[in-house]
Amino acid sequence: MKITYNATDDILVIEFSKDKIIKELSLSWNVNVGMTSTSRTPKKGRITP
């Protein structure tokens, strides 16, 4: 797991895996999720591994 913060753009990135992102989802205007081949689709606003 890796957490980085870009103060210039005010972006917090939480990286759970180094796997290649194959799908991106926008859950709201300020939350984006990159999905890998082993990820599950979030349900009811929850992100599951």
Beta bridge partners of 23: 35
Per-residue pLDDT reduced to its tens digit, 1-49 = 899 999 999 999 998 888 898 988 888 888 888 888 887 665 655 555 4
Work out the end-to-end distance of the chain between its first and last CA atoms, rounded to an integer number of angstroms.
12
Q: How distant, in Å, are the alpha carbons of 5, 7, 25, 37, 38 from that of 22?
A: 23, 27, 10, 7, 10
Q: What is the pLDDT of residue 41?
A: 62
In a domain, 41, yes or no: no
In a domain, 42, yes or no: no
In a domain, 25, yes or no: yes
pTM of the prediction? 0.61
In a domain, 43, yes or no: no
Domain containing 14: what range? 2-35
